[in-house]
Amino acid sequence: MKNLITRRNFVGGVAAGAGLATVGGRAFAQQLALPTSPVTLNIIDVAGNLALTQKAIENYRKAKPNLVSRITFTKAPAPELAGKLKAQQDAGRVDIDLVLTGTDALSAGIEQKLWVEVMAQHASALPKLDDIYLPAAAKMQTLAKGQGVVVTYYPSGPILEYMPDRVKKVPTTAEELLAWTKENPNRLIYARPANSGPGRTFIMGLPYILGDSNPQDPAKGWDKTWAYLKELGQNIEYYPSGTGAVMKELGEGSRDMTVSTTGWDINPRVLGVVPKEAKVAALKGFHWVADAHYMCIPKGLSNEKIAVLLDLMNFLLTKEQQAYTYDEGYFYPGPAVKGVTLDMAPPESQAAIKEYGRPEYEKWIAENPIELPLQPEQMVVAFRMWDEQIGGAKRK
């Protein structure tokens, strides 16, 4: 998705001679010496995160011309990253300096030992994360196993999104949703969870709604969830490969309802893919299943590059730069750091969220528990079981 963010100038100081990086008036000891001449940074995004952070990263280059001369940005599918990075590391020629990722490529890199152990080796070069993060963002940080740093966060979902002119009786419970699909076959749609944020948030959220025995164990603790998804699937025509196709069908009128997240509700309406009039609902007993993006440093870089990347991480975690992550609602709210309010965001972000955001989100965030997503190895199990038991024969 294309998102507009305007620049906000921010000037940070670096006391390179003293070995200190100054961020927000606070100095952090640097373990590694900063370069004496500016470097080029190559950043790859496998999570859509640049929509939220690219302007802030560009602000860093402008604020620190003594450290960075140029920044290149590339995007790639998450499943391709680990193999590419491993090949570069084996050849001793790593040309990726920073990876922006979700939990998928993060966990693949952890498994294959691709990442610098940032927290074990360089914690003193970063702020005390538990002190600055929102509580749920701090929980998401634990999934990184010390090998990545959360840069953006949102409570995600699962919520229902529907067209009010076509859905007259809005489901309020899981049972009512199932009954609605029986009365309105093929009018609900959601995408394959392995490639859809709303899809996987929905299946990870159902165990809490249905009262399953262990919401963190899809193989042994999701009996009610798998039974429910199978019955629900009898009334679903097919499962698209990604969320974009789902929103297009909802917007065009070929479907009446889908599962969604805060960002996938707001941003497609900002962009005109889904009509502004679409509404959202939450099922009784729902828990948020959170999501986050991470900054990871591949092994194999020079100490000078790592020193600059740590300084960049500090910069991106300041309140001024976190305010850009409100974006046009793509990862709403977006900031991982405490005390970052919408009035700090660029005017375009404020205008988009004022027009397309929803006051009920603040109430739902305040009143409903926020859970961690599945651990990476359990998420793989859930995707495999869904493909085998639910959607394998009806994917498109």
For residue 396, the model assigns a pLDDT of 62
Q: From 3.40.190.10, 3.30.1490.20, 1.10.3720.10, 3.50.50.60, which CATH number describes the 39-156+291-352 domain?
A: 3.40.190.10
In whole angstroms, what is the distance from residue 41 CA to residue 8 CA? 21
pLDDT tens, per residue, the chain with 396 residues: 433 333 223 223 333 333 344 444 343 434 699 999 999 999 999 988 999 999 999 999 999 999 999 999 999 888 789 999 999 999 999 999 999 998 878 888 988 999 999 999 999 999 999 999 999 999 999 999 999 999 999 999 999 999 999 999 999 999 999 999 999 999 999 999 887 889 989 999 999 999 999 999 999 999 999 999 999 999 999 999 888 899 999 999 999 999 999 999 999 999 999 999 999 999 999 999 999 999 999 999 999 999 999 999 999 999 999 999 999 999 999 999 999 999 999 999 999 999 999 999 999 999 999 999 998 789 888 988 999 999 876 766
The CATH architecture of the domain made up of 159-285+367-394 is 3-Layer(aba) Sandwich (3.40)
Q: Where in the chain is the domain with CATH 3.40.190.10?
A: 39-156+291-352, 159-285+367-394
